[in-house]
Structure 1
C-alpha cells in the first residue's frame, strides 16, 4: 500500500484547539436534544411514524445531492469560512423550525422544507470540518488526538440527550429547537475566530468536474475505503431508520415517552466516552480489522427495540454499542489521516459521506410503509440482520484485514540558540509537548444532519 505524502498540521496552536473544541461541544449539546425534539414535534403536530421518516429524509436528500460539490468547494476555499456559513444557515433554519412549533403552526411541508435547508448546509459543512480536523493533527499524535476530541464531542451529546429528553417532556419540543438554533450561532462565532494563516494555500484545480474526478480516483483506488463506505451505506440506512423513526415510536408505546428514550441516547453517549478513553491508550496495529469487528454490536439496539426490552436493558445495550462504535470511529479517522493526502481530504470525505448516507433518505422514508407491511418488530429485526450481514461481508476485503498503523515518527528536535536565556531550552521542550497535545482534537464535525456514520468525525445530527 502506497503511503501518501505526509500532511503538515496547521499552526493555530492551543487557541485554535480550544475554539474548535468549544464549538463542537456547544453544537453537540444543542443537537442531541434537537434530534429528539424534532421527532416529537412531528408526532405532537398529529404526524405519524411515516411523517417522522419524511422529515428525516427531507434533510438527508439535499445533503446527498450537494455533498460532492461541498467537498470540492471545501478543498478550494478556506475551510473555516465554509463552516461558518453553514452554521449560520443551520441557525436560521432551526430558529424558524422552533418558531413554528412554539406557535403551534408547524405543518409537515414546512418542517420538511426547513429540514432540507439544514441538510444543504450540512453538505458543505461536513467535508470542510472533516478536512480541517484531519489536516490539523500531528501524525505522531493522531490516534490519541481523535480520541480526545471525540470524547469532548460525545460528552456534550451525553448531556444534551439527557437534558433534551427531559426538556421535551417538561416544556415541549419547540424550546429545545430554539436552544439548538442559539448553539449554532455561538459555534459560528467561535469558528470565525480561528487563525488559519499557517495553513498552506491549495493550488486551484482545473475546475469543479476535474476536482471531483481527482477525488473519485483517490477514493476508488483504495478497496478498504470504498468497501467500508459500501458497508455503511447499508448499516447507516437501517440504523438511521431504527433510531430516527422506530425508536421514538417504541419509546412512546412501551418505554414511557421522550424521557427514557433521551436516557437511552445518553447511554450511547456515555459508551462513546468510555470508548474514547479506551482509545487514548489502545493502539491496535491492524486498525480496520479491530474497528470492523467492533461494528457488529451496532445491530444490538435494533434488536433490543424489536423485543422490546425494558428501558434499563436498552440503556445497557446502548452503552455497549457506544463503546464499540467509538473504537471503530477512532480507527477510521486514524486510517484516513494516515493514508489520504491533505489537499484531497475534503473531496475524499465527501465521497465517503455520499456513499455512507445515500440510502438513508430511502430507508427513513420507507420505514413507515415497512412497519405497516411487516410490523414494527420484524422491520427492526431486519435492520439488525442487515448490519451483521454487511459487516461480515466487508471483512472479506484483504486491505480491511491487513491495513496496519504506521510507526510513530519521532518529534522534531528544535535547536536552541547559543544566546538563549537560561530557561529557553526548557520552554522549547514544553512548547513542543504542548503542540503535540493540543493537536489532539482539532476540528471535526458532522453537524446538524442526518443519522451520521458512527465511524466519522463530527457533531450530533439534528433532523
Structure 2
C-alpha cells in the first residue's frame, strides 16, 4: 500500500504547482481587497450620516440578498462550473466598487446610491462565496486538499490581520475629517478603488487557473429541488440540526449587533478609523494564532468536542461584557485578540467536523448553509441593532450581547446534545 504523503511534502508539491499558485495569488489579492471595503463601507456611512440606523440598513441591504440567494448560489455552482460563476462575480464586483470609488472621490454620492450599490454587492456575494469555496477541490488533487485548505485558511486569517490595519491607516492618512465634509470620505474612496483593482487583478489570475480533468459536474437538478433536498438532509440529522440552530441563534443575537457596535466604539476611541482597523486586525491575528494552536494540538479538548465548543463560547460571552466600557484602542485590541484566539481554535475543529460528517455530495450545500448563518443572518440582525442603538447605550449593547451568549450556552447544555459531540476519526467514512 502506498504511504500517504506527509503534510510538509504536500505543501511542498503545492508550491510547485503553477495552477495552485495562480489561484492562491488571486485569492490573497482578493482577500486583502475585501478587508478594505469591510472597513471603508461602515466608516463611509457613519461619516456621511452619523446614524447607526442607516448603518444597520446598509448592512442589511448587503446581507438580505446574500442570505436569500446564497443557497441558490450553492446549488447553481453544483450544477455549473465554479470557475465560471466566480469569474462572473468578480466582473460585477469590479464594476460596482469602481463606481462607488468614483462617486466618493469625485463627489455626487448620495445615500440612495449607497443603498443601491450595497444591494448589488450583497447579491454578487451570494454567488461568489459558494463558488469560491467549491473551486479548490477542482484545482488540487484529493490527497493535497487538506494541505491546500490549510494554506488558504491561514492566509485568509493573515489577511484579516493585515488588511484592516492597512485599511484603517489608509483612511486615516488619505482623509478622515469632520463628518459631512469632503475630507471625511476621501480615504474611503481610495479604499474602494483599491478593492476594485484587487477584483480586476484576481480576475486575471483566476483566468490562468485550469480545473483538473475528470471533475465532471453533478447531474442536472432543479435549483430549488436541490436546495430542498439539502435542507431535508440537514434537518433529519439531529446533530447537524442542533448545531445549525445554535449557530443561527448566535448569529442573530451576537454577531449582528457586534457589526454595529465595533465601528461605533471606534469613533469614541483615541485613534478613530485606525482604531477600527487595529481592533479587527487584532481579531484576525488572534484567529490565526488560534488556528495554529489547533493544528499543533488538534485533540486539545475539555471533555468532548461539543463541551469544548460551549465552554469557549461562554468565555467569549464574558469577554464581550466589558467591551463597551473600554477607553483606549489597546484595550479593545486585547479583548478582540483573545476572542479571535478562542474562535480560531474552534473554527478549525468545527469545519473538520462538518466535512467529515456530511457526505461529499452534500458538502457544498452544507457549507453554503453554514455560511448563510453567519454571513446572511448576522448582518440582518445588525439592522435591528442599529435601531436599538437609538434607545440603549453602547455599553448596554455589548453587555447584553455577552449575557445572551452565556445564556445560549446554558440553554444548549440543558436542552440539546451538543455537549456530546465528538471528533470523528480521520479515517472514518462520511455519513451516507
CA 1:188–1:237 in 2, change beyond 3 Å: closer, same or farther?
A: farther
- Distance across 2 between alignment mates of 1:156 and 1:357: 18
Select 2:123's aligned residue among 95, 100, 120: 120
CA 1:199–1:277 in 2, change beyond 3 Å: closer, same or farther?
A: farther
- Distance across 2 between alignment mates of 1:229 and 1:362: 17
- Distance across 2 between alignment mates of 1:199 and 1:36: 41
Q: 1:388 aligns to what SS in structure 2?
A: helix
- Distance across 2 between alignment mates of 1:161 and 1:282: 28
In the alignment, what sits opposite 2:368?
350
Shift of 1:159: 1.2
In the alignment, what sits opposite 2:387?
369
- Distance across 1 between alignment mates of 2:293 and 2:236: 32
Shift of 1:131: 3.0
In the alignment, what sits opposite 2:335?
317
Select 2:424's aligned residue among 401, 405, 411: 405
Shift of 1:145: 5.2
- Distance across 2 between alignment mates of 1:61 and 1:301: 29
Q: Work out whether 1:383 is the aligned partner of 2:398.
A: no
In the alignment, what sits opposite 2:6?
none
Q: Work out whether 1:261 is the aligned partner of 2:276.
A: yes
- Distance across 1 between alignment mates of 2:198 and 2:116: 21
Shift of 1:207: 1.6
Shift of 1:281: 1.6
Deviates most, 99-108 or 110-119: 99-108
Q: Work out whether 1:51 is the aligned partner of 2:54.
A: yes
Q: C-alpha offsets along residues 225-247 of structure 1, whole Å, 9 cap, x if unaligned?
A: 23222222232234444443222
In the alignment, what sits opposite 1:412?
none
Unaligned runs of 5+ in 2: 1-12, 175-186
CA RMSD of aligned residues (A): 2.7
Structure with the bigger RCO (C-alpha within 8 Å, sep 6+) is 1
Shift of 1:318: 1.1
8 Å CA contact retained: 1:272, 1:322: yes
In the alignment, what sits opposite 1:107?
110
CA 1:86–1:289 in 2, change beyond 3 Å: closer, same or farther?
A: farther
Shift of 1:291: 4.0
Deviates most, 220-229 or 103-112: 220-229
CA 1:271–1:156 in 2, change beyond 3 Å: closer, same or farther?
A: same
Select 1:91's aligned residue among 82, 85, 94: 94
8 Å CA contact retained: 1:158, 1:268: yes
Q: 1:359 aligns to what SS in structure 2?
A: helix
CA 1:34–1:76 in 2, change beyond 3 Å: closer, same or farther?
A: same
8 Å CA contact retained: 1:25, 1:153: yes
- Distance across 2 between alignment mates of 1:369 and 1:187: 37
Q: If each structure's helix is expressed as a fraction of its own residues, which one has the higher value?
A: 2
CA 1:137–1:233 in 2, change beyond 3 Å: closer, same or farther?
A: farther
- Distance across 2 between alignment mates of 1:174 and 1:332: 37
Q: C-alpha offsets along residues 312-354 of structure 1, whole Å, 9 cap, x if unaligned?
A: 1211111111111111211122122212222322222223233
- Distance across 2 between alignment mates of 1:324 and 1:141: 27
- Distance across 2 between alignment mates of 1:124 and 1:266: 26
Deviates most, 111-120 or 83-92: 83-92
8 Å CA contact retained: 2:72, 2:224: no
8 Å CA contact retained: 1:294, 1:327: no
- Distance across 2 between alignment mates of 1:25 and 1:288: 32
Shift of 1:120: 0.8
Q: Work out whether 1:211 is the aligned partner of 2:214.
A: no
Shift of 1:293: 3.3
Unaligned runs of 5+ in 1: 1-10, 410-463
In the alignment, what sits opposite 1:75?
78
Equivalences, count: 400
Deviates most, 179-188 or 294-303: 294-303
In the alignment, what sits opposite 1:445?
none
- Distance across 2 between alignment mates of 1:134 and 1:234: 31
Shift of 1:264: 1.0
Q: Work out whether 1:159 is the aligned partner of 2:162.
A: yes
8 Å CA contact retained: 1:93, 1:117: yes
8 Å CA contact retained: 1:75, 1:345: no
In the alignment, what sits opposite 1:251?
266
- Distance across 1 between alignment mates of 2:410 and 2:87: 39
Q: C-alpha offsets along residues 263-312 of structure 1, whole Å, 9 cap, x if unaligned?
A: 11111111122112212222228545444433334435643431134321
Mapping of residues 195-206 of structure 1, within 5 Å: 195-206=210-221
In the alignment, what sits opposite 1:28?
31
- Distance across 1 between alignment mates of 2:276 and 2:374: 25
8 Å CA contact retained: 2:70, 2:126: yes
Length-normalised TM-score, structure 1: 0.79
Select 2:193's aligned residue among 178, 191, 199: 178
8 Å CA contact retained: 1:146, 1:330: no
- Distance across 2 between alignment mates of 1:251 and 1:37: 13
CA 1:394–1:103 in 2, change beyond 3 Å: closer, same or farther?
A: farther
